[in-house]
Structures are given as structure tokens and as C-alpha cells.
Structure 1
Amino acid sequence: MTATLSGCGASGGSGDVTLKLVAADYGTSAANKSDKYWDDVARGFESSHPGIKVDVTVLPWTDIDREVAKMVKDGKAPDIAQIGAYADYAKAGKLYSADEMLSIPTQANFLPKLIDAGQVNRIQYGLPFVASTRLLFYNKKLFSQAGLDAPETWSDIASDAAALKQRGVSYPFALPLGPEESQAETLMWMLSGGGGYTDEVGSYDIASEENVKTFDWLKSHLVDKGLVGPVAPGKLNRAKAFEEFSKGKVGMLNGHPTLMEEAQKQGVQVGMVPLPGENGPTDGSMGVADWIMGFKQNDHRVEIGKFFDYLFTDKNVIEFADMYDLLPPTNSASAAMEDDAKYKPLHQFLAALPESEFYPFGKTSWAAASESIKENIGKAVEPGGSPRSVLERIARDATQAEAAE
């Protein structure tokens, strides 16, 4: 879907500049498409910046990364792209760095963890557009009926799931390790066991002893005991797990803010706690971010910077986050939402964001590593599966992809 928000390009001889912006559609229906947001932002920017126009193309998430890659390959890069990854373009020298575009107050306002996640070789190219964190969700009604308290440890999860299974709950713990988004579920569990995808210096550490131990526990204490429901984890996608939770058929799963709203709409009472760890609640949550970036091709550095300074004002940042139950990437907008009772349902997620751990976005090899996780991680918990050998295979794929950079 394309929305041309102003004019048909630069005006000949007037010195006007037209910025071409390609953005993802976060809407779930015609009623909440992202076009209106971008229309409002573009018109507001144009009214305060004579001589700069903004043409916006809004594309579905299923197409946008591929379409932008094609534009760049064809020599028709947009000035601005709001997409899922930036590292390939940064490594190829196609992007402006943050400090080449942004005013100092705008650049300094991003949450520090998001600044780190937006860097390649310690230079920030990816500007965090929106963020999300994950918490453990549980069905309060099912827990109350079983006389259970919210889980705090892995052993709590196992015993609670066993009690829910006895009461006939379809999915005592929904474990979506299917190909849709298993890289997220995997990282959440790795963090809860003291591991992660990388070590302290940013090198891949996928087959660490901590990660092997975590998946050994998942396999032996949840999957092998039949506590994850009727669909094998490797076949269960996040969308299906979320749908079943919203129907009241899931006792526990890892969820994000959008699921909270959807489940409550359908009458499910949602409890939320930090992901339980081996000995208590996990200190850090998993964070997810989407990115916006400025391309060099059309030499519009100054105009792109002015647009970003406008885009990242609190009003615009909060409006988008509010529209889709997501989290703002800036300190000031986060503080404003934390101080506003209207956003109380998001406060737990906001509190988790500053200490969240993100995917290794700055590695161009991450795309290949992520694909290997999606393809293979479900096999780690299959009957007869070996978590260690599966994690070692994924680690080899990641290392090979990094060597090819």
C-alpha cells in the first residue's frame, strides 16, 4: 500500500527537497493501519519545515525488508527506511551514522541499551524506532482454580504446569519453538538460565554450558513430561500460542504488550511476572527493537536529520507506541508514559526495558544465525533430541556466517 503524502517530488528550481520514506505497517486491520500516523507526521513536519516534502510508502512487514533491499540493489534507495535490520546497509557504507544526522539532544535521548543495539563497530547507524519487552504471562483464573501463585523459579513453572495439566488445561505451558519467531523464545530461556546468544565481548556463545543446561531442563522437565500441550514445540508458532492463550486454553507463556490487550478483550485475566529463572526471577528481560535509518544515496543528510529530530519528539514517539501497545525508545517518552496512569498496563514492560537484552543486531551474520535457530531449535526438545548437538549445530552456522562477512 502506497500513500503519497505530498506532491510528486522535488519542485524544479525552487530548491525544495523531497524525502522518500518507506515504513512498515504495524496495523492488524484497516482501522489501525500505520498510514494515518505517517500522514500526520509528514504534514506536521512539512508545515514547520518549508522546502522539505515527505513522500511515504507504507508496506506490510511480510514485504518491506525484501522491497527495501531491492530498492537499494536497483540504485533507488529511499532516504529513510523503517525496517527490521540495519547492519547489512551500515557495513556496506550506505547509511549515515546517527551523529551525522541527529542533533545532540535527540541522539542522547535514546535508551542506552538501544544505542548499543544500534551500533556496528561502536558507531550507531540504527535509530531505534519502537521497542518491546517480554514477560511471563499466566491465566489468573486457571491459576486461582488450581490454587497456584505466580511462578518465580523454573521449578515453580514445572510444578504449576503439572497441576494445570491435572485440571485438564490444554497448554499448561505453551512453548513456541516453531519457525515463526523461535529466536525470541530461545533467547528468553537462555537469559533465564544465565546465558544468551553472545558473551561479554559480543562473540557468539550459542552452545555455552548455560544454554545447554537450559534446554536440557526444558526438554526433561516440561516437554518430556507432556506439559507443553498437544502441539510439539518445534511445530508451535507464536501466533498460534497467543491465539490459544486469548481463548483461555493456555496456563503460561512468554508474551508481549499486544497479547495483553488482545487477551483482555476476550475476557482472559492476565497475570504478568518477570521470566522465572533457575533460582528466582530473571534480572533482565528480552528486548525487541525495530529500526529507522537514513540512506546516503540521495545526499539529503541535513534534511533527513531535521526529519528525525521532529519524528523523535515525545508527542510523535508516544502516539505511535500508544497506538500499537509498544514501548518508546527514548528516555523522555518512557518517563512520560511511566508518569501517566493511562499507561499503567504498560508500566511493567517499561520498567523492564532499560535492562533488556537484545538480539546481536549489529552483526550482519545475525540474519543467518536467526534462520538456523528458527529451523533447528525445536529439534533440541524432540523425543530423543540432544540439546547440546542442536545448539552446537546452530553455533557452527552462526560462526560460518560471521566468517563470511
Structure 2
Amino acid sequence: MLSLVLPGVGHAQTTQPPPAPAKPVLFTNFRLFDGKSSTLRDGLFMVVEGNTISQIGQGQPASSEGKTVVDCGGKVIMPGLIDMHWHSLLAALPIQVILQADIAFVHLAASAEAERTLLRGFTTIRDAGGPSFALKQAIDSGMISGPRIYPSGAMITTTGGHGDFRSLAELPRTANQVSQAERDGANAIADTADEVRMRVREQFIQGATQIKMVGGGGVSTPRSPLDMLTFTEEQMRAAVETAADWGTYVLAHAYTPESVQRSVAAGVQCVEHGHLMDDKTAALLAKHGTWLSTQPFLSEEDVGPLAGPSREKFLEVTAGTDNTYKLARKHGLKVAFGTDLIFSQTLATRQGTMLAHLKRWYSAAEALNMATGANGQLLAMSGHRNPYPRKLGVLEEGAYADLLLIDGNPLDNLDLIANPEQNLRIVMKDGKFYKNTLNA
């Protein structure tokens, strides 16, 4: 396949997506982390047929005839990683390019980044806002390589809320006026409950698996302070009810106690970020069983170049990270792992590094369970809109064959995940080998 160079974004996809193996694959001589346990299991074999794990057994298989045998050399097999807060079209390009370039260029850059995301070991992502429907279709059809995508479609916000990147020249908004970002599917602005219902339904007819609502201000939107509130409780509830009518759920962008509490009161089932929440808010999340999908931001190394108000807001968010995870542990919250790495191809390579940050609050096994089995449980909440009905994030019979072979024991050294090029020997997604260096 011809490898093209896109200015500022590196190479396009480097190889054709692999074909499905001609025969069932038999894995032997490995240690298993299944995405649910706190320890490794030894003395097993595993058979992959098509895109599914058909058998996990103890000891030696009765026969290897008719199968492709992969001797793992005592290395660790684990589920493919899941990033619950990824922006497929925002990860590889600076924000200035995204706001000014032809949307076709943005999609080409996203295609290139999709392959790199998969080779980092992230076999599934939940897209937390952006027009990723075509990218998902191209991946699912085998046209290009990339992770499974659970698309949210356009993030739905209010006038002046996070995600409203319109220039002042585009104001005042009129009834028939739609910004370029809205036409491209990056965001959708709604200022009444009826507009919310319409915007939610627009995402579903394009293939959204869940809905992203903006409950407050954000870091990257320069004119939305973190402490602002967007939708009223009634308006947010309109989104929750409409999503329920479609058999799925709403995730809400919210940092502050007020925005998180309003989201929970409206029935939102997953809160994104929450870095500024207090003890009362964490207790409310626990009472309602609401998921907290947050990101372990530690320093400016975990963000692209920022200046002015955006940098100040990110430093405020980072200052709250430690307290957020401590409150989550104190109240036994259901916590999902995501990275929210945007606007930099270099920064995107830190997905594994972000996962390794979790060792400040969790054991390696707890962190890996969060990024595999627990995240898989949250993905399954998309219910009737779930495009991938088998289990994800776990290695068990009947689950999708999304798996990694790691050179080393990640339960002893979580930092192995941060260097995927060296430490990932196999990346399999949907039963296909996207990377296999065992014989190299």
C-alpha cells in the first residue's frame, strides 16, 4: 500500500489491514490476565476461531490439528485496552489546524492516528465527541486499521458552553444559522429542551452509541470558564429521556460540584472528568451508582501546548486530580479510565503513560482491570445501540478476540504499557493479527 505523508501529522496508514487467519489460532505457553482478576493464571491454552475466543482450557489441548499454534514463550496475554475518553478526530492535529483545515484533511489525519492507536494496544475507544462515524465504518469494513469505536457524535452544548468555538463574528445566532463546526459534526448547539431532543436524535440517526452532553465549561474552549453551567436540569433530562428512548445512555462533561450534581439529578449515567468535585458530590455519585470516567492528568506533560486562560484552567484541573481519585476510592465509585489526549500527535503516544499514572492510587491489577473489564461493562450500557454485542475487555469463552501479548508482567510493572513498541509482541483485534513480532 502506498504510504503518504501528511504535513505535520506523519504517515498515513502503513499497511493493508490483515486478513482473518485461515485456521483457528491456538495460543499455548502463556500466563493469562483475564481483565477481571487480581492475579495471573498459568497452565492454560486458548483457541480463537473467527473473531471470538472459542475455548480456554487447563493443561494441553487434546489436539492442535487444523490450527495455527502460537507458542507465547511464557509471556502474559491480556485483553486489549479500552480508552473511554478519546477524540478520534482531535487527537493528531493542533487545534489551529482543525479549526481552519478542510474537514477531509482532518479525517485523513484521524485515519493515520487510528492505526497508531491500535498498535499502542488500545483495541477499543469510546469517542467522546466528534464526527467519527465514517472512521468507524471504514475500520469495521476492513478498509483501514484502527480500534473499535463507540461514537457519541457531536458533543451537544449551549451557546457559550464548552465546545462552542464560534468566532464572535458568527454572533448573534439566528434561527437558520449553523456554524461550520456544526455542519462538520464536531458540536451541536442547543438552548432549549426541544432543541436538545432534536440534536440528540440527529446523533442517533447517524449511528451514535451514546450521547455526549456538555454540563459546564472546559479547558480548551477559551470563552467558557470552568465554573459556568450550561443546560438546566430539565434540558439535561430531555437528553437522558431521549437516549433512554433509543435504549442507551448519556455521558456528561462536568468538572465542578454544581455541574456534576446537576447532571446526576437529571439522570446522567456517566460523568466525564469531575476533577473539581467535593466529598458531597462523590457521595451523590455513589448513591446513584453513576459512573465517573476521569483522567489522571498530573502535569503539563499530559496536555498539548496551552496559553492564557486555557493553561490556567488546565492547571486548576490538574490540581484536583489527586483529590478526585482519593474521593473515588473513599466512596467506592465505579471508575472508568480514559485519557482525553487531544491536539497533538506526540501527546497521543502517551495513552499508555496515562494508564501507568494510575499506580499513584491503584495497584497495577486494579488499574488494568479498570482499563479492560470495567471499561467493557460501561461500554455495554449502550444497550440496544451497542454495535459489538459480545463481551469486550475480558478474555473468556465467547468474548471478542481482542488481546495483547506483553513481554513482561504488567501486574508487577505497569510501566510496560507505556512502551508498546518495545513491549507489545502481539496485538490482535477481532481475531486478526495487527502486530506479531514473536518470530522477528
Could you say which TM-score interval applies, normalised by the shorter chain? under 0.3
Higher helix share: 1
Compute the TM-score of the two structures, normalised by the length of structure 2: 0.22
